[in-house]
Structure 1
Amino acid sequence: MSKNAKRLLSFLLVVVLAVGVLLSGCGNKNSSSSSNNTSKQTQTATNNSDPQNLHFKSDKPLEFTMLYSDHPNYPYKSDWLLWKAIKDATNVTLKLTIVPMSDYAQKRSLLISSGQAPEIIPKTYPGQEVPFVSSGAILPISDYINQMPNFSREVKEWGLQNDINSLKQADGKFYVLPMLHQTYTMQYSLAIRQDIFEKNNIPIPNTWDELESALKKLKEIYPNTYPLSDRWQGKALIGEALPTFGVPIAGSDGLFDWTQTSTVLYNSAKDDWEFYPTSQEYKDTLTYFNRLVKEGLLDPASFTQTDDQAVQKFVTGKSFVIMTNTQEIQNMINQMNQTLGKGNFKVTQILPLAGPKGGVIAGNRLENGIMISAKAKDDPNFPQLLKFVDWLWYSEAGETLTKWGVEGVTYQKVNGKFQLMPDVNYMNLNPSGTKNLQKDYGFSGGVFCLLYGGPKDLAESMMTPEVANFENQVNTQRKLLPVAPPVPFTESQREQANMLSQPISDYVEQMMLKFITGVASIDKDWDSYVQQVNAKGVDQLVKLTNDVYKSSKNK
């Protein structure tokens, strides 16, 4: 899966603020030229009029501690150019606690719980901060936003205040500083073999009904295939469909993990929270996919097979439709150049499909972000730490630095547009480059920046023309569901809600798969399913959620 596949967790049944994808990085060679360049850039910035105090460079050397998630695709190097570039730009050195990405969440929890966490704790998805709120181990960062002018400016100018409000806890404060998108970037949707569609005069689908018609034609022409064989256990596929059928899930990527979510969702029309897995809209969604399975259009193995198995079927021409994202599609194309031969196929990522409720998509413009350890406020340089974080992660200069690197070393501007230097490659933007922007220099990594996040122009600067066109179509032809308001449970209320929701979610997940694959009959077994799930405490969970919501709303 791509490095962005990390963002692939949070599904159906809950208001998920999965929010996801900070990459990672730091720098190595060309130190003298990079020093001159970064110093010059910073000096120019700080010499300009700065009435909003958006720029930051300490007048004395500083050191801050930070937890670092080490990505296996670009392992940490102490001589990466990024570290020097950050020092040149801010006069700050980062003292890192380096943790393998696979162990990051567990190690983060242990360090915070033991009081040993570094001051800056990045790669935290909204919701992951909750276990540390009541102990006071992390700062209510909302108390310090007035000292973070770049973050405040982006929230205001990009209209993100409602999104930020959704992070509030029972005390009315929020504890994670999320990364931000100026415009929504859609990652996940279906990829099709466009050459096969064109060869057989099959229109590219725009709706779920049109997809079903296309799959039927493909099945007639290629009777020994499953035209749609999916990956990611079908989570992205179902996650894309649910809101278009009227189930108001919310997430970041359209990829939802039904085992880690609540089943009570916000109904904006009624301004309350309802249980959706027994609704007609949810039933209609399952009925649609069950029909695809029964007619041999959707591979039932989609919900159990490995990603590699699903991809192999697609790249070898045994299936013609599969879920993808804007990075994974290139990986599939690279494989197909080997399996089918370059020029013998055409793969296209199509717009998220529209359904009975129209072309709506579930997502938001927040990403994983940063917690600040409570002990950081005891650092005499705490105000500078806040300004450093604010500049590096939320100023356009800082975001450019962590994404593109150092001008004249890793990138150049050509007619006002970013361009990798001739010897540097990243994401196949410059295939002839012999050095890698991430592996060799540390830039464009998930600890410090977003692939397609931040300011719109900067986000688009690393998009291929195909991806830029896709994102433009999503933003002009699809509607993003509004962010659900917060339900700020206290610790005891959250424990009660979890005790109720976990067995409900487990049962809903089991039955969802059974209904889709036909192990259980929607016609015959639905009423029994509704009775059994209600018996697990649905009414209590809905009442608790609405009581907390209305109480906090009144406050």
Structure 2
Amino acid sequence: MKSGRKRLKSIFCLIALFVLVIAGCSNKESTGTANENTKKGAMESYGVGDTFKASEEFELPILYSDQPTYPYKENWLLWEKIKEMTNVSLKPTIVPMSDYTQKRSLLISSGDAPLIIPKTYPGEESAFVSSGTILPISDYIDKMPHFKDKIEKWQLEDELEGLRQNDGKFYLLPGLHEEVWPDYTLIIRTDIFEKHNIAIPTTWDELYVAMKKLKELYPDVTPFSDRFLFDSTLNIAATGFGTKAGWGYGNGLTYDESADEFIYSATTNEYKELLTYFNKLVSEGLLDKESFTQEDDQAIQKFVTGKSFIINGNSQTVILHRNDMDKTLGKDNYSISKITVPGGPAGQLMSGSRLENGVMISSKAKESENFDAILQFIDWLYYSDEGQEFAKWGVEGTTFTKTDGVRKLVDDVNYNGLNPAGTKDLRTEFGFSGGVFAYGGTTDLLQSMMSEEEIKFQDDMAKVKTTIPAEPPIPFSMEDREKVTLLNTPLKDYSVQNTLKFIIGDRDLKEFDAFVKELEGQGLQQYLDLANKTYKEYKESK
């Protein structure tokens, strides 16, 4: 009996071994087949400087953020030329810009998102990582030579590192800028400043002095009435005060290099100093209280009708304000200009990342027979010099000309005031420079669509400002991410609420220490401990 059992056992082992060998071969064959099955339409040879054109036509679903100023048109030259040049027919799912973030989340959660999901800012992808619905694109960048080349050439590795999740992978292809590109700042009535011999302020203290003078001269005017619920101004000001606020508040954490740890921004002396400064502006009638609650149109109307002299804005809004003021005040009766962002107690500092909003790719894309071609297409359109110029300027000879490297809109095409005589808008009529495809690129390309005035602003910022380095990442694990959300959300909400109260005077700044204690009572230390533990572990793993 024992010898029979031994023989049976030997037979079973041989059968098991045979099955394993067959399974192994089968797996190898299926893997090879799967790899081959992703190459349909891909170029066999594709590298830096190559124009992508699929070897076979295919359709590519894409989520499209529809901007009301230049709404989607099916017959845009943009779509026609993309198909002609690349053999790819884009099939957009149109979502109003105002609902884009919410609709994107719903589509991803339901599994109905298109394969390509653009207009995603760094950090926004984190919410979708744990579900497995978004592709870990870092596994595939060897298939994207233009993206890889720009990362290396512009030394963006450290900034890209900040996108890595706890698993060491990143899930977003960000837009890439060659240099930091500041845009938002204060727009002022330069004619009023010049009329009264008031120097253009270069610091927030100088701005205070200037506004005091304006208030004396125009007692019925509140010099500064702002838009964007004051979040943009808090953002640009906070850097000069050595902290974060407004649009830049983010997760509420600021890296303290001297201590090699993260601290909570709203609890610092620098934050208190920021609150104290703007509280002084409000209490002395220099900053409109309604800046924190009014609609943008209300703030704009005050500025363009002469009821205020200062507003936050960017290169596009300054042109829109001029168009309005030509009607309200008369073309020769005013002058306005962006000024360099004022410096603060921490110095003439500028924050900013060279990473722009970019593209998520649905995990379903890797199941597509066109997967490799999809990656090549995205790499060409979003990251090649040729693709970026096309997305911004359009078609040479049709929407622009290029002589000795200098691009110029054709006579009947206008964009953002570059060619005021043009009757056709580059965005509205043709679909180019619309924002879904046109972010990132070389400084030359970026500045090619700027007015001389805007280029001067960029140059002035570069001359006087020191760019603060990117902060190290805090790649929370999937398990910790939920804890972080539960801890951070009430802390941030409470900080934002009290920021407003302190500035407008609804809460006395003498209670700032009490405010910090209140945050501590809401789990602040637990949040900091978790963040710093994660950061230390990440640092040690490097």
TM-score by length of 2: 0.88
1:225 pairs, out of 221, 224, 234, with 221
Q: 456-465 or 289-298: which moved more? A: 289-298
Q: Percent identity, aligned pairs only?
A: 50
Structure 1 equivalent of residue 350 of structure 2: 361
Give the alignment's Cα RMSD to 1 decimal: 1.8
Q: Does 1:67 find its partner at 2:73?
A: no
> In 2, are the aligned partners of 1:193 and 1:348 still within 8 Å (CA)?
yes
**Alpha-carbon distance in 2 for matches of 1:58, 1:328:** 39
Structure 1 equivalent of residue 528 of structure 2: 542
2:480 partner letter: Q
Q: Does 1:107 find its partner at 2:94?
A: no
2:508 partner letter: S
Q: Does 1:160 find its partner at 2:132?
A: no
Structure 1 equivalent of residue 508 of structure 2: 521
2:487 pairs, out of 486, 496, 500, with 500
> In 2, are the aligned partners of 1:54 and 1:150 still within 8 Å (CA)?
no
Structure 2 equivalent of residue 422 of structure 1: 411
How far the C-alpha of 1:262 sits from its partner, in A, is 2.4
1:177 pairs, out of 157, 173, 180, with 173
Q: Does 1:530 find its partner at 2:516?
A: yes
How far the C-alpha of 1:407 sits from its partner, in A, is 0.8
**Alpha-carbon distance in 2 for matches of 1:486, 1:220:** 48
Q: Does 1:390 find its partner at 2:379?
A: yes
How far the C-alpha of 1:440 sits from its partner, in A, is 1.5
1:438 pairs, out of 414, 422, 427, with 427
> In 2, are the aligned partners of 1:54 and 1:149 still within 8 Å (CA)?
no
Structure 2 equivalent of residue 10 of structure 1: none
Q: Does 1:142 find its partner at 2:131?
A: no
Change (3 A) 1:499 1:50: closer
Structure 2 equivalent of residue 376 of structure 1: 365
Give a deviation string over 1:85-138, Cα, whole Å, max 9, x none. Answer: 112222222222222323322332222222222221111112221222112111
**Alpha-carbon distance in 2 for matches of 1:69, 1:125:** 13
> In 1, are the aligned partners of 2:49 and 2:384 still within 8 Å (CA)?
no
How far the C-alpha of 1:268 sits from its partner, in A, is 2.6
How far the C-alpha of 1:53 sits from its partner, in A, is 6.3
1:455 pairs, out of 439, 442, 455, with 442
Change (3 A) 1:248 1:236: closer
Structure 2: runs of 5+ lacking an equivalent: 1-42
Structure 2 equivalent of residue 290 of structure 1: 279
Greater helix content? 2
Structure showing greater relative contact order (alpha-carbon pairs closer than 8 Å, 6 or more residues apart)? 1
Structure 1 equivalent of residue 476 of structure 2: 489
Change (3 A) 1:308 1:76: closer
Alignment partner of 2:428: what SS?
A: coil
Alignment partner of 1:136: what SS?
A: coil
Structure 1 equivalent of residue 85 of structure 2: 89
Change (3 A) 1:509 1:421: same
How far the C-alpha of 1:263 sits from its partner, in A, is 2.1
Give a deviation string over 1:506-545, Cα, whole Å, max 9, x none. Answer: 221121111111111113x223222212211111111010
**Alpha-carbon distance in 2 for matches of 1:545, 1:341:** 55
Q: 482-491 or 61-70: which moved more? A: 61-70
Give a deviation string over 1:351-406, Cα, whole Å, max 9, x none. Answer: 01101111112221111111111111111221111111000110010011111111
**Alpha-carbon distance in 2 for matches of 1:405, 1:52:** 21
2:457 partner letter: F
Structure 2 equivalent of residue 267 of structure 1: 256
How far the C-alpha of 1:257 sits from its partner, in A, is 6.7
**Alpha-carbon distance in 2 for matches of 1:421, 1:312:** 33
Alignment partner of 1:154: what SS?
A: helix
Give a deviation string over 1:229-266, Cα, whole Å, max 9, x none. Answer: 111111111111112111156xxxxx6175xx422221
2:294 pairs, out of 305, 309, 312, with 305
1:365 partner letter: R
Structure 2 equivalent of residue 402 of structure 1: 391
Q: How does 1:270-349 map to 2 (within 5 A)?
A: 270-349=259-338
1:108 partner letter: R
Structure 1 equivalent of residue 72 of structure 2: 76
TM-score by length of 1: 0.86
**Alpha-carbon distance in 2 for matches of 1:106, 1:228:** 33
> In 1, are the aligned partners of 2:181 and 2:352 still within 8 Å (CA)?
no
> In 1, are the aligned partners of 2:475 and 2:535 still within 8 Å (CA)?
yes
**Alpha-carbon distance in 2 for matches of 1:157, 1:142:** 18
How far the C-alpha of 1:429 sits from its partner, in A, is 1.6
**Alpha-carbon distance in 2 for matches of 1:491, 1:51:** 35
Alignment partner of 1:129: what SS?
A: helix
**Alpha-carbon distance in 2 for matches of 1:433, 1:53:** 32
Give a deviation string over 1:8-66, Cα, whole Å, max 9, x none. Answer: xxxxxxxxxxxxxxxxxxxxxxxxxxxxxxxxxxxxxx9xx986464322222232222
**Alpha-carbon distance in 1 for matches of 2:252, 2:223:** 31
Alignment partner of 1:311: what SS?
A: helix
2:171 partner letter: Y
Structure 2 equivalent of residue 216 of structure 1: 212
Change (3 A) 1:526 1:383: same
**Alpha-carbon distance in 1 for matches of 2:236, 2:444:** 27
Structure 1 equivalent of residue 26 of structure 2: none
